[in-house]
Structure 1
Amino acid sequence: MKLNHMSKTWLFIILTIVTIINLVPLFFMIFTSFKGNTELVSGKLTLLPQEWHFDNYVKAMQQGNWGLYFKNSLIVTLVATAGSLFFNTLAGYTFARIRFAGSTVIFICLLVGMMVPAQAIVVPQFIIMKNIPFFGHNDMFGHGGTGWLNTYWALILPALSGSIGIFMARQFYAGFPKDLDEAGFMDGNGYLGMYLRIYLPLSGPLLASLGILKIVSVWNDFFGPLIFTSKESMRTIQLALSVFKGEFTIQYNLLMAATMLISLPMIIAFFVFQKQFVGSIVSSGVKG
C-alpha cells in the first residue's frame, strides 16, 4: 500500500510527537543527573540545570563497590547471551529443518511457554538450584547445602534458552530454500554439520536480534539476582541500584547519574546492532 504525500506528512508528524513523548523522560534523567541537590529540593521543575555538576557521576560511583557489580553483570550477560544464541539457534534449526516424531507437539508446548510469566516458575527454579547434588556442600541427594545459590550458575543457566528465541530462530530458518539442505547433504554434511557450516554463518541478522534481546533482558534483570543471590559479592548492577535507591532516596541527582551509567551500555549496543535487529524482526515476521 503506497502512501500519498499528505499521508506521509501526517505519519511523520505523528511519529515525531510519539518520539518526543518517549524521549522526554530520558532527557529529564540525563539533565537531572547534572543538577545539584539544592536545586532538586527547591521544588522548581526545570529541564536544564542551573549549575552543571559533572562530579555527580563520580560521587554516585563512590557509593558502593560498583566495579564489582559491573563485573558480575558483565560476566552473567556475556556468558548467558553466548549460550542462549547457541541453544536457541540450534533448537530453532532443528524445528525448522528436521522432521521427527512429536516435533509439532513439542513446538506447541514451547509456544505455550511464551505465555507463562517468569515469576510463575521461579519457585521450581529456586528448588532446583538449591538442591543440585555435590555443589554448595550438598550431598548426592542435594541436601545439606546451598547448591548453586549465590553463584554465577544460578544467574546464567535460567537465561540460556527461551521460547521466544527458539520461535524467532525457527521462523528465520524456515525461510531458507530446501535446495540448501540437498546441497549440504551432497557435500557430505550431516544435520549438525549443516548447522555449523551453512546455517549459522548465514544467521547474522538473527544473532544480532536475539543477542540484543538477551543482553537487555539479562542486563536489566532484577528478579533473578534478588531470588538466587544474597551475598554482596554476587550483587548485579540492577540489584545494586535498588539498594542505592533505598539508601540515598533524597539524592535523586546521584540516583539518575547511576541509572544513566547503567543504561549507557544498552543504548550503545542497540545503536551498534540496530540495522541487524530491524532486519531480523522483518525476516522472522514474513518467512516460514
Structure 2
Amino acid sequence: MSVKQLKTLGWYLILIGVGYVFLFPMLFMLVSSLKPEQAIFADLYSIRAILPVGELSLDNYRQVFEKSNIGLYFWNSVLITGGTVIMGLFVNSLLAFTLSRMKWSGQKLVLSAVIALMIIPLEAIVVPLLLLASKLPSIGWEDGMLAITGSWLNTLHVQMLPFVANSFFIFLFYQFFRDIPKDFDEAAELDGATPFQIYRHIIVPMSGPVFATVAILHFLLMWNQYIWPIMAVQGEDARPVMPGIQIFFGRQTGWGEVMAYASFVTLPVLAVFLVFQKKFVRSLAGAGIKG
C-alpha cells in the first residue's frame, strides 16, 4: 500500500471516528426509546446500547401519548415553525433584495443596523418583548363580532411574529443576492419589469441554495425555541413541543419514555435536513468559491 493510500485510509478512519462521536447519542436515544428501562441500564456499558437487540417494543411511545398532550404540542410546533419559516423566507429575502439590488436613501444605514442587530441575543430583549406582547391586544370573535379577547400572551402568533424577521438570515440573503450579476436586472428593466417582478421571476429562481439554507436554519431556530414559549405561554392550548418535555419529565416517567419523547421531536428535524441537504451543501460550497 502506497503512502498516499495510507493517508487516505487514515483520513477515512478519522472521519468515521468523528462521525461515530456525533451519531452515538442519536443512536443511543433511538434504540433506548424501544427498550424497557431495565434493558437500557443493563446494556449501558456495551455495544448493545446502540444496537436494536433484545426486548423491543413501542410501549414507551404509547406511554408518551398517554401521559402528555404531545399530539397537541407537536401540531402547535408545526404551525408555529412552518408559519414563521414561510413568512420569514419572504420577509427576509425581500428586505435583502432591496438592500443588495436597489439604490435608495439610507440604504447603508439600514444595512449597518441589520449587521449590528446580529450580535444582540434574545436573552437581552426577552423581558421588554414580553412586556410589549402583554400590552398588544388579541382580536377574535365573540358573539359573532370582532372583539378584543385579551393580550398576545398564550397565543400561537406571539411565538411566530417576533421571529419572522431575522438579521442573520437577512445578511445571508444579502450576501447571496449581491453576487448575482446585475445584468439580469437591467435586461428585465428594459422589458418593463418592476422591482418585485425581478425579485419574483429572476432572483428567487436563481437562489434555491440560500433559500434552502435559511429554511433549515430558521426551522431549527423555531423548532428548538424554549425560553420564549416558557415565558409567553402558560396554558396547554398554545404550548409547543419543546417546553412540553419539561412537563412530561416531571410526571414520574422512565428514561425509555423520555428517550421516546426526544426521538419523536427529533425526527422532523432529520426529515427537513434530508429534504434540503443537497441545496444546503451546495450553498455552503458556493460560499467558499466566490470571487
1:272 aligns to what?
275
Q: Which amino acid aligns with 1:253?
A: G
Segment of structure 1 superposing worse, 173-182 or 41-50: 41-50
TM-score of the aligned structures, taking structure 2 as reference length = 0.88
Question: Which of 90, 104, 107 is the aligned partner of 1:103?
Answer: 107
How far apart in 1 are the matches of 2:138 and 2:179?
45
Note if 1:36 corresponds to 2:40: no
Which SS does the other structure have where 1:273 is aligned? helix
How far apart in 2 are the matches of 1:68 and 1:178?
47
Alpha-carbon offset, residue 44 of structure 1: 5.3
Deviation string 1:35-74 (CA, Å, 9 cap, x unpaired) is 2123346695341454223322122222112221111111
Note if 1:262 corresponds to 2:246: no
TM-score of the aligned structures, taking structure 1 as reference length = 0.89
* 1:102-121 to 2 correspondences below 5 Å: 102-121=106-125
How far apart in 1 are the matches of 2:120 and 2:11?
36
How far apart in 1 are the matches of 2:150 and 2:184?
49
Give the conservation status (yes or no) of the 8 Å contact 1:171–1:284: no
* 1:1-288 to 2 correspondences below 5 Å: 7-40=7-40, 45-46=45-46, 47=49, 48=51, 50-133=54-137, 135=139, 146-249=150-253, 251-284=254-287, 286-287=289-290
Which SS does the other structure have where 2:174 is aligned? helix
Segment of structure 1 superposing worse, 71-80 or 6-15: 6-15
Alpha-carbon offset, residue 228 of structure 1: 0.9
Give the conservation status (yes or no) of the 8 Å contact 2:137–2:150: no
How far apart in 2 are the matches of 1:43 and 1:274?
33
Q: 1:256 to 1:182 in 2, by over 3 A?
A: same
Alpha-carbon offset, residue 108 of structure 1: 1.8
Alpha-carbon offset, residue 240 of structure 1: 0.9
How far apart in 1 are the matches of 2:42 and 2:279?
46
Q: 1:44 to 1:171 in 2, by over 3 A?
A: closer
How far apart in 1 are the matches of 2:68 and 2:225?
19
List alignment gaps of at least 5 residues for structure 2.
Answer: 141-147
How far apart in 1 are the matches of 2:9 and 2:150?
61
How far apart in 1 are the matches of 2:138 and 2:58?
50
Deviation string 1:142-192 (CA, Å, 9 cap, x unpaired) is xx9852111111001112011111011001111111211111101111212
Q: Which amino acid aligns with 1:29?
A: M
Q: Percent identity, aligned pairs only? A: 32
How far apart in 2 are the matches of 1:36 and 1:80?
38
CA RMSD, aligned part only? 2.3
Give the conservation status (yes or no) of the 8 Å contact 1:135–1:148: no
Give the conservation status (yes or no) of the 8 Å contact 2:226–2:242: yes
How far apart in 2 are the matches of 1:90 and 1:116?
22
Segment of structure 1 superposing worse, 176-185 or 95-104: 95-104
More strand per residue: 2
Q: Which amino acid aligns with 2:11?
A: L
Alpha-carbon offset, residue 273 of structure 1: 0.9
Alpha-carbon offset, residue 211 of structure 1: 0.8
Give the conservation status (yes or no) of the 8 Å contact 1:95–1:170: yes
How far apart in 1 are the matches of 2:13 and 2:99?
43
Alpha-carbon offset, residue 96 of structure 1: 1.0
How far apart in 2 are the matches of 1:279 and 1:42?
43
How far apart in 2 are the matches of 1:149 and 1:173?
37
How far apart in 2 are the matches of 1:41 and 1:276?
40
Q: Which amino acid aligns with 2:186?
A: E
